[in-house]
Each structure stands twice: as C-alpha cells, then as structure tokens.
Amino acid sequence: MKMLINVPETVVADALRGLAAAHPELTVDVENRVIVRRDAPVAGKVGLVSGGGSGHEPLHGGFVGPGMLSAACPGEVFTSPVPDQMLRAAAAVDSGAGVLFIVKNYTGDVLNFDMAAELAEDEGIQVAKVLVNDDVAVTDSLYTAGRRGTGATLFVEKIAGAAADEGMPLERVEAIARQVNENSRSFGVALSACSTPAKGSPTFDLPPGELELGIGIHGEPGRERRAMMTSGEIAEAAVEAVVEDLKPRNPVLVLVNGMGATPLLELYGFNAEVHRVLAARGVPVARVLVGNYVTSLDMAGASLTLCQVDEEMLRLWDAPVKTPGLRWGV
C-alpha cells in the first residue's frame, strides 16, 4: 500500500508536528503526546479530556478547543494512550473545577483512563468519567466488553463541552454527557478494510463485491457479511438497527460519518437515503452533520449515529465551537 508517510514508527509524531504547525491556538506536546487548548486552564471551567488510538482523525485532537475538549491524548495507531498522558492532560486543564474523562468503550482505553483517574485524584484533581458505548452492532468483541464506543463520542464531546464552557459544575457536565450517550446509537458499514502503517496492507479480508455490516472503528467484524448493497439498502439496514434499539420519541441529531476513504459525493447521497428512511418511520430530524469525523484510516464505508435530543441538548449542540475539526457560531 502506498502511504504519505516517512516511516511507520514516526507516523503519530509527524502528524502531531503538523497539527502544531497548522493550529497555533493549540499547545501540542509531541514528545509526551498531549494536545491542549492554549488558554487552558480556564478559571472556573470544568476540563474535558478524551483520547484514544490515532487513526480516527479528527477524533480526538481535532476536537480540542473552545466549545469541545480541553485536551486530548493520542495513542499509537489503534492503540490506547497511556495513563501518564491522561494525567499530564488532566493537570494541564484543571482549574480547580474538576476534570471529566470521556472514554470510548474499548478495553485498553477503559483500563488506562481508570488508572489515570486514580493517579489524578492522588494529586488532588477531582475526576469524573463517562463511558461512551453507542454501537448497536455487537455486544462484545475482541476489543470490548459490552458495546463499542463510536460516533456518539462526537456528540458527547460537543454537548458536554458546551456545558463546561457555560460554567456548569462537574456533576452537571457529567450528567449531561451521560444523557447524550444514553440517547445515542450507532451502526457502521465497511466497503473495504483499512491499512495500518505498521502492517502496510489491509487489516482483514473483504472480497470484491461484499461488504461488512456493523463494523467497529478499527475494522472489527460486525453482524454479518453480505453481497454489495445499494446506498438505499444500506441506509435501511443502518436506520433499522439504530431506531429499533433507540426507539426515539424526540427529534434526533444525525451524524453521517465517513470512515476515511468515502468521498462526500457518496456520503451526501447516503444522507439522502437516511433521511428518506427516517421520514418513512416518522422520526423528525433536528440537525445533521455529514463528513469524516470518526474515521478508520483509509477504510471505505460510513457509520450512522442518531441522538435524540431535548431543548437543552439541542441548545448546547448549537452553541459556538472552534476546533480544527468542528467549527460554527464564531
């Protein structure tokens, strides 16, 4: 596989150096692998820290800034960051109001964030944790116990980030983050496998003319493998899986997320089909986001995330945000 890299061993460090050059509003510690908004800590504000393996960009480093995360900890490709990174991030953003860890439900992330929370509390930093587990495709997998954390991470980071920027206390920011997760569900589809820099070839075999329904963001297998389907058929399968589990009674936020190698032409077409199926099911749509936000390197495919919202959640979603990967109202 051809890749725009130097050597696999420096891929993450090189990307962080590039992020720093492009976004001087961030403080990027390349050696210790921590990305922090330059104005942190903000007096009286709860700090939001997330992180995970690299390869899902712009998640998480691209969501650091006003209105979202205070800091992010990138691990190696598809590998959890370590507790020392998370402790360093928490210390950098703690203003005395506490820190919320937003953790995707992958075993390494969960264990390391738990350890980091204990270390932070030993240093006098108040820490709360929220686990994101929105994927409806698989209950347990190679990487998780329970449901995987996928696209809803963006909803949690954005809405909880707005709450923190409004000066809400840690307990309230945590409660809102949990509410977002509990009201979100996701389902992903792979049209091709991804290729990690270290392996240099596809991470799993997906024959021509077939797709994988229900994949995770590392390309983990999903519910089933089928012959290639049309965009409309994929939308029907994804919406059915999400809506049957979520059973929304309120309007929903819609995230049509590209997995890294699917062009916007296809994503917007898929979004049209998603809206057709939601309308047929009587599910009202409040807001829509289409693009590559929670990716899997060069995987072709898409994921659908729905989050049913109340008035407060929708207000916080609409609040200004200024990050490399998400920006409006500023």
The domain spans of the chain are 8-183, 184-318
Q: What are phi and psi of 289, to 5 degrees?
A: -130, 125
| The pLDDT of residue 139 | 65
| The pLDDT of residue 143 | 61
| Beta strands across the sheet bearing 99-104 | 26-29, 34-37, 71-77, 47-54, 99-104, 127-132
| The pLDDT of residue 48 | 98
Q: Is 184-318 a domain of CATH 3.30.1180.20?
A: yes
Distance CA 224, CA 226 (A): 6
- The catalytic site residues sit at 56, 218
Which parts of the chain have pLDDT scores under 70? 139-144
Topology of domain 8-183 in CATH is: Rossmann fold (3.40.50)
| The pLDDT of residue 221 | 72
User: What pLDDT, in 10s, does the model give residues 199-225?
Assistant: 988 888 889 999 999 988 987 777 889
| The pLDDT of residue 171 | 98
| The pLDDT of residue 145 | 73
Are the folds of 8-183 and 184-318 the same? Answer: no
